[in-house]
Amino acid sequence: MSRPKVFVTRLIPEAGLNLVLNACDAEVWPGELPPPRNVLLEKVRGMQGILSLLTDRIDGEVMDAAGSQLKIVSNYAVGFDNIDIDAASERGIFVGNTPGILAETTADLAFTLLMAAARRIVEGNDYIRTGNWKTFKPMELLGRDIHHATLGIVGMGRIGTELARRAKGFDMEIIYFDHRMRSGKGESSGARMCDSLAELLARADFISLHVPLTPETNHLIDNAALARMKDSAILINTSRGSVVDSDALFDALKSGQIAYAALDVTDPEPLPPDHKLLTLPNCLITPHIGSATVATRNKMAVMAAENLLAGVSGKVPDHLVNPGVLPHHKMEGASNG
């Protein structure tokens, strides 16, 4: 029996890649950068599966270029804003993602950014390296207390919940707002739900974003949202860059409307080295490393590979993003995985 043909858009950890190579006739894009659009359109032709990254835009054009035999797009990420979900469902194509396994690791990074911003760690490091450390100074590099400060979590899904657990250990007061009105999730960590985002923005000392990127959350943090924050507020973003309006954030940081931002995701991404946000001392930026630990990236690779292998054999993947596909799915040979 012939092996399913799949295209893997980048080298992923061997733990998952080997599962794919052992079971499929796989082509793996070897480049350090994502395949250019024309290459992607060319490479997917005739494939039954695509293992994609968040940097690949997988829309109807890519699906049609692949052909009607395409059964699954398996994303090596929990976020799937790079994929046109409706287009996939209409064409009977499963979409898989990697939920859960990266929640603690990403929450670790969000809390790391919170602490680094509060205690001005990067500025301190630069201060020494640029020869400014002459003596102990009573009023130099003063930061903010983390303990007993108020943390506002926007989006109380798995990552937000893990962040709340960490914050509880630091005696923070935790408040949250959830667009999907998921109440009860944060309460186990002592978090209290706010009635509105506006209330959270006005009350929090630290605001951490954990929403998926959707039309509703695009530029959720805009001029008006920033204007509601305290002038001492510290904004943390480990979700998607476009949840924050970068121009509005620049203006708010530059004018002192808010105190600090710590971003693991940016808009645009990657951020060009001459971007205006990089001129600000009160903006700490890391290169989208929320899930970047050896163990978590291995787990993501295995989960993405397992979703892919299920999909190419006509089974519903364990981590299906688009249940809307099921009515459109050609059920010949399909089982419930």
240 is catalytic: yes
Rounded to the nearest whole angstrom, what is the least distance from the CB of residue 290 to ligand DGY in the complex?
6
Active-site residue identified among 240, 297, 306, 319: 240
CA distance 51 to 13: 13
Rounded to the nearest whole angstrom, what is the least distance from the CB of residue 265 to ligand DGY in the complex?
7
CA distance 113 to 92: 40
Rule CB under 6 A: say whether 160 interacts with ligand DGY. Answer: no
Q: Which is nearer to ligand DGY, 4 or 157 (CB)?
A: 157
269 is catalytic: yes
CA distance 52 to 10: 8
Rounded to the nearest whole angstrom, what is the least distance from the CB of residue 268 to ligand DGY in the complex?
15
Identity at 278, one-letter amino acid code:
L
- Cα–Cα nearest to 96, from 85, 109, 108: 85
119 is catalytic: no
Question: Hey, CA dihedral for 311, 158, 84, 8, is it positive or negative?
Answer: negative
Rule CB under 6 A: say whether 49 interacts with ligand DGY. Answer: no
The 50-79 contact track toward ligand DGY, x by CB under 6 A, reads ----x----------------------xxx
Active-site residue identified among 61, 269, 328, 329: 269
Q: Which of 63, 102, 211, 325 binds ligand DGY (CB under 6 A)?
A: 102
Q: Which is nearer to ligand DGY, 99 or 314 (CB)?
A: 99
Helix (H) or strand (E) holding 260: strand 260-263
Q: Please, which residues have CB within 8 angstroms of residue 33's CB and are 6 or more apart in sequence?
A: none
Rule CB under 6 A: say whether 16 interacts with ligand DGY. Answer: no
Return the exposure string of 135-152: e unless at least 16 CB atoms fall within 10 Å of the residue's CB, then b. Answer: eeeeeeeebbebeebbbb
Restricted to residues 275-314, the positions that interact with ligand DGY (CB under 6 A) are: 290-291
Rounded to the nearest whole angstrom, what is the least distance from the CB of residue 143 to ligand DGY in the complex?
27
DSSP assignment string, 179-232? TT---STGGGGT-EE-S-HHHHHHH-SEEEE-----TTTTT-B-HHHHHHS-TT
Active-site residue identified among 288, 297, 306, 319: 288
Which parts of this chain interact with ligand DGY (CB under 6 A)? 54, 77-79, 102, 290-291
Active site residues: 240, 269, 288
